[in-house]
Amino acid sequence: MVRSGSASVAAGPTLAVVAREAGVSVPTASKVVNGREDVAPETRRRVTEALDRLGYARRPRFDVAKVPGLVDLVVHSLDTSWSGAVLHGVEAAAHDAGLEVVVSAGAGRTRGGRPERSWLDKLIARGSSGVLFNLAELTSSQYAWLEQHRIPFVMIDPVLEPPPGVVSVGAANWQGGVTATDHLLALGHERIAVVAGHQHTVCGNARVAGYRSALASAGLRHRPEYVRHAGFDESVAHRRMLDLLDLPEPPTAVFVCSDRMALGVYEALAERGLRVPDDVSVIGFGDLPESGWLSPALTTVRQPLSEMAATALRLLVRMMDGERPESTRTELSTRLVPRSSTAPARGTA
Amino acid sequence: MVRSGSASVAAGPTLAVVAREAGVSVPTASKVVNGREDVAPETRRRVTEALDRLGYARRPRFDVAKVPGLVDLVVHSLDTSWSGAVLHGVEAAAHDAGLEVVVSAGAGRTRGGRPERSWLDKLIARGSSGVLFNLAELTSSQYAWLEQHRIPFVMIDPVLEPPPGVVSVGAANWQGGVTATDHLLALGHERIAVVAGHQHTVCGNARVAGYRSALASAGLRHRPEYVRHAGFDESVAHRRMLDLLDLPEPPTAVFVCSDRMALGVYEALAERGLRVPDDVSVIGFGDLPESGWLSPALTTVRQPLSEMAATALRLLVRMMDGERPESTRTELSTRLVPRSSTAPARGTA
């Protein structure tokens, strides 16, 4: 109903129907929907149950005939090229849909050590039509809050597996891990290590699983000592690479699960007087703009961040129209970006 | 009045006073303020004159007691680390002021080759409280439009000199040019070239002027052949650096007026088998996150983008409260960030 500029196609019951069902006045039902505190707990419970039972969908407050709708993008931090790519995709898709984007960096903001909830309160107060979260880890009470206020939301590349029913968009991380490892295998490498991200994240696990699958398909045995977790941190990656080089049989090629960690890997190799790609081949993951600034330029697996963000916006718009996506998880494909940091293994060229 | 959560401290006359002054009805005056088309030209002129004469200031439409105010940030493009730093500064300062930020990439968007005006129309329709423009080149009719609709706005690092009275925030570009050149002089270099940006931009001119001032203070003669303009373009910078290396007396040090152009300069030096900093010292300008990814890491002059953006937001908030800044141009200081791309001139160490 937002896109069409007409408010007449709203799905579901009105607030008046909800109020009647709950046995309360419309202003009281409105208070519950808008997150106001001045409602008795028992009344809040009755209204919430009625909202659930009737499948009430929030309506945007603005005059849709005149003013473009607003959607919210909540990100962890704004000063990364990662968030720039996400914002680029969201803004362009929103523009196409006749929507505007309110940006908050609140997801990671704390006050006195505790996560600040003001961004959520603001979403409720303004009557947000819908929210995109990027790289956010929401608490179960925040999920419940969004659900209670009937605010449609989509996660872009969630760090942890979201609860059942939550809609998310990500990269095909497993396939990307296969792509990276296959590239190194095709160059004749057999001693291939992986500098991985966090062990318990959606993307970290899937990329390493893709690496293992590719090795297994090539008939190579799995060497646990070749898998090092560095938590997506550049300086930890630096130390893990030094550890790998200290092995009796050091790797001739490394799949680094993020471009940022590749920076630390390059430094470790330089410290040991090893050249990229002559001595060790390096492939990254992400294709951040920075990866072209490395010398030699980094071969990597492109993660389509802007496209993921645009897809999430389009899914959100459909949910704002009352639709449910067919699938709660959408994955967009990755692709190899060959540059100068990978070369044939010695003796195979 | 937005920050305080109260609508009672508005400066200047009400719309009713303006309507009386212009001899029209309040709805007609409202139409003019809100950019509606259905007003006779003569009536529009009378209302606009009354608005000017009385110093009418727009009021935000939202209920300030309940809903955080919105300010707009219009940028050229979103997927650069530059815009990320700006957005980071704007969002943090807006959060502190109890405001939220609507982001549009519309300033550079075109439709059929002509600049699209939809972002301006959207600002008017929503009743924007205030706008920040980053790296935007507004046309004179766009300036007039903003003026007519009484929308306060501030330019962040405008490309061209804005018209008189327009408020802007930038870096101390001249001082930054002095800082970069003084650093090379202190290392004993005398043959110092500059790879500059655009000739007719605010920042491009001032940085080169700073370079010249520093040389003059050191008693070195100005060599016109050492000044090459590359329009902030990486591949043009690459060619200009090759030209400099072809001179009978090539430079031993180069001040490159943007970090991005330094990437092209590094490539040109590598092509000629010259090492940074052993053969040629390189200093950039900007301190983009990418500059740390170069090898060797780039010595540069830090331009405080996030701080510039936050300062612009705070100026805008004061203008939304009816104040006028004491100065139309605010410049924030730059500082040297020494890394590994500069070294003493040969024979001086």
Parse chain B into domains and list their residue ranges. Answer: 1-61, 69-171+306-333, 173-303
How close A238 gets to chain B, by Cα (Å)? 14
With an 8 Å Cβ cutoff, is B293 touching chain A? yes
pLDDT at A138: 81
Which one has a higher pLDDT value, B319 or B60?
B319
In the predicted model, is pLDDT for residue A52 greater than 80?
no
pLDDT at A121: 74
**More confident position, B202 or A274:** A274
Count the helix, strand and coil residues of chain A and give each as a percent rounded to the nearest 5. 40, 15, 40
Mean pLDDT of B142-169: 88
Extract the tokens encoding A148.
Answer: 């209670």
The pLDDT score that the predictor gives to residue B1 is: 32
Number of helices and strands in chain A (H, E): 11, 14
Query: Positive or negative, the Cα torsion across B201, B204, B210, B213?
Result: negative
Could you tell me the pLDDT band of residue B12, with boundaries at 50, 70 and 90?
Answer: low
- CB contact under 8 Å between B78 and A100, yes or no, is no
Q: Given the DSSP bridges, would you call strands B253-256 and B227-229 parallel, antiparallel or unpaired?
A: unpaired
- Residue B84 to residue A79, Cβ atoms within 8 A: yes
Q: Are A79 and B87 in contact (CB < 8 Å)?
A: yes
A68 and chain B in contact, CB less than 8 A: yes
Taking a contact as any Cβ pair under 8 Å apart, which residues of chain B between 162 and 181 contact chain A?
Answer: none
User: What CATH class does A1-64 carry?
Assistant: mainly alpha
DSSP-derived pairing of the beta strands B131-134 and B153-156:
parallel
Q: Which of B102, B126, B306 sits opposite A79 (nearest CB)?
A: B306
Subunit contact A289:B293, Cβ cutoff 8 A: no
Interface residue B34 vs chain A (CB under 8 A): no
Give B203's pLDDT tier (boundaries 50, 70, 90): confident
- How many other C-beta atoms lie within 10 A of the C-beta of residue A200? 11
Closest chain B CA to residue A297: B294
- The closest CB to that of B293, out of A83, A290, A306, belongs to A290
Summarize pLDDT for A13-48 with one digit per residue, the tens.
Answer: 677 788 888 998 877 887 777 666 678 888 888 888
Q: Is B99 on the interface with A (CB under 8 A)?
A: no
Asked if residue B293 has pLDDT above 50, the reply is: yes
Average the pLDDT over A50-57 and give the result: 76
Pick from B66, B78, B92: which is nearest to A87 by CB? B78
Task: Say whether residue A120 is in contact with chain B using an 8 A CB cutoff.
Answer: no
The region of weakest confidence among A97-111, A243-257, B154-168, B318-332 is A97-111
Between CA A126 and CA B30, with CA B4 as vertex, the angle to 5 degrees is: 65
Mean pLDDT rounded to a whole number for chain B: 85
Is the pLDDT reported for residue B148 higher than 60? yes
Q: How many CB pairs under 8 A join A and B?
A: 110
Q: Which residues of A are less than 8 Å from B122 in CB distance?
A: 68, 100
Q: Across the interface, do B95 and A106 touch by the CB < 8 Å criterion? A: yes
Q: What is the pLDDT of residue A64?
A: 37
User: B318 and chain A: CB distance < 8 Å anywhere?
Assistant: no
**pLDDT at residue A78 greater than cutoff 50:** yes
Integer angstrom CA distances of residue A97 from A4, A54, A91, A265: 9, 28, 10, 42
Q: Which residue in B has a C-alpha nearest to residue A85's C-alpha?
A: B79
How does the average pLDDT of chain A come out, rounded? 85
Q: Identify the band that residue A2 occupies on the pLDDT scale cut at 50, 70 and 90.
A: very low
Residue B8: is its pLDDT beyond 70?
no
* Distance in Å, alpha carbon of A174 to nearest chain B alpha carbon: 26
Question: What confidence tens digit (pLDDT) does each residue in B21-65 have?
Answer: 899 887 788 777 766 667 888 888 888 888 878 877 654 343 334
pLDDT at B126: 73
State the Cα–Cα distance between residues A110 and A286, nearest whole angstrom.
Answer: 28
- Which amino acid is located at B17 in the chain? V
Q: Which residues of A touch B132 (CB under 8 A)?
A: none
**Residue B230 belongs to what H/E stretch?**
none
pLDDT at B229 over 80: yes
Whether residue B78 and residue A84 make contact (CB cut-off 8 A), yes or no, is yes
CB contact under 8 A, A88 and B81: no
The lowest-confidence range among A106-115, A283-292, A306-315, B220-229 is A106-115
Query: Among partner residues B81, B103, B295, which is closest to A87 by beta-carbon distance?
Result: B103
Looking at residues B256-278, what average pLDDT do you find? 96
Whether chain A has a CB inside 8 Å of the CB on B298: the answer is no
Nearest CA in chain A to B263: A293
Cα A258 from Cα A234, distance rounded (Å): 9
Contact residues on chain A for B87, CB-CB shorter than 8 A: 78-79, 87, 103
pLDDT confidence of residue B63: 39
Contact list in B for residue A106 (CB cut-off 8 A) is 95
Position with higher pLDDT, B329 vs B3? B329
B105-147: per-residue pLDDT in tens?
865 565 554 556 667 777 777 777 899 998 767 888 888 888 8
Q: Which CATH architecture has domain B69-171+306-333?
A: 3-Layer(aba) Sandwich (3.40)
Q: pLDDT band for position A6 (50/70/90)?
A: very low
Rounded mean pLDDT of A179-185? Answer: 98
pLDDT for position A172: 94
CB of B300 within 8 Å of any CB in chain A? no
For the stretch B177-188, pLDDT in tens is 999 999 999 999
Between chains, do A101 and B100 touch, taking CB under 8 Å as contact?
no
What is the rounded distance in angstroms from the CA atom of residue B119 to the CA atom of residue B73? 11
Answer whether B293 sits within 8 Å of A294, measured CB to CB.
yes
Over 50: is that where the pLDDT of A88 sits?
A: yes
Residue of A nearest to B259 (CA): A293
Considering CB atoms only, which of B79, B126, B293 is closest to A306?
B79
Domains B1-61 and B69-171+306-333 share a fold: no
Rounded to an integer, the average pLDDT of B163-171 is: 93
Give me the percent of chain B exceeding a pLDDT of 90: 52
- pLDDT of A201 reads 83
Q: For A190-209, what is each residue's pLDDT tens digit?
A: 999 999 998 888 778 899 99
Least Cα separation, residue B220 to chain A (angstroms): 34
Instruction: Report the candidate in A70, A177, A198 with the shortest Cα–Cα distance to residue A135.
Output: A198
Instruction: Please give the class, per CATH, of domain B1-61.
Output: mainly alpha
Give the chain A residue whose CA is nearest to the CA of B34. Answer: A66
Chain B: closest CA distance from residue A221 (Å): 35
DSSP secondary structure string for all residues of A93-145: HHHHTTEEEEEE-GGG-EETTEEP-HHHHHHHHHT-S-EEEES----HHHHHH
Half-sphere exposure of A7 toward its Cβ, with a 13 Å CA cutoff? 14
Q: Options 3.30.1330.10, 3.40.50.1100, 1.10.3720.10, 3.40.50.2300; which CATH number does A69-170+306-332 get?
A: 3.40.50.2300
- Please compute the mean of the pLDDT values over residues B304-316 and round it to a whole number: 96
The CATH-assigned architecture of domain A173-303 is 3-Layer(aba) Sandwich (3.40)
Residue B116: predicted pLDDT: 61
The answer to whether the CB of B86 falls within 8 A of the CB of B309 is: yes
> How many CB atoms lie under 10 A from the CB of residue B280?
27
- What's residue B10's pLDDT? 38
Contact A295 B294 (CB under 8 A): yes
Query: What does the pLDDT read at residue B348?
Result: 62
Whether residues A109 and B95 touch (CB distance < 8 A) is answered with: yes
Asked if A103 lies within 8 A of B106 by C-beta distance, the reply is: no
pLDDT of residue A34: 62
Distance from the Cα of A164 to chain B's closest Cα (Å) equals 31
Q: ipTM > 0.90?
A: no
A266 vs B: CB within 8 A: yes
Pairing status of strand A131-134 against strand A167-171 = unpaired
Q: Cβ separation of A101 and B102 shorter than 8 Å?
A: yes
Reduced DSSP (H G I as helix, E B as strand, rest coil) percent helix, strand, coil of chain B, to 5:
40, 15, 40
Share of chain B above pLDDT 70, in %: 87
Where would I find the beta strands (DSSP E) of chain B?
Answer: 69-75, 99-104, 110-111, 114-115, 131-134, 153-156, 167-171, 192-196, 227-229, 253-256, 281-286, 299-302, 329-332, 335-337
Mutation pick from A31, A75, A100 vs chain B, by most beta carbons of B within 10 Å, is A100
Separation of alpha carbons B17 and B74, rounded Å: 32
- Cross-chain residue pair B105–A91, CB shorter than 8 Å: yes
Query: How high is the pLDDT of residue A213?
Result: 97
- Chain A hits for B266, CB-CB cut-off 8 Å, are 295
Establish if A335 touches chain B: CB-CB under 8 angstroms: no
Mean pLDDT along residues B199-226: 92
Q: What is the pLDDT of residue A11?
A: 45
Residues A123-137 have a mean pLDDT of 80
Using a CB–CB cutoff of 8 Å, tell me whether A340 touches chain B. no
Q: What is the pLDDT of residue A118?
A: 65
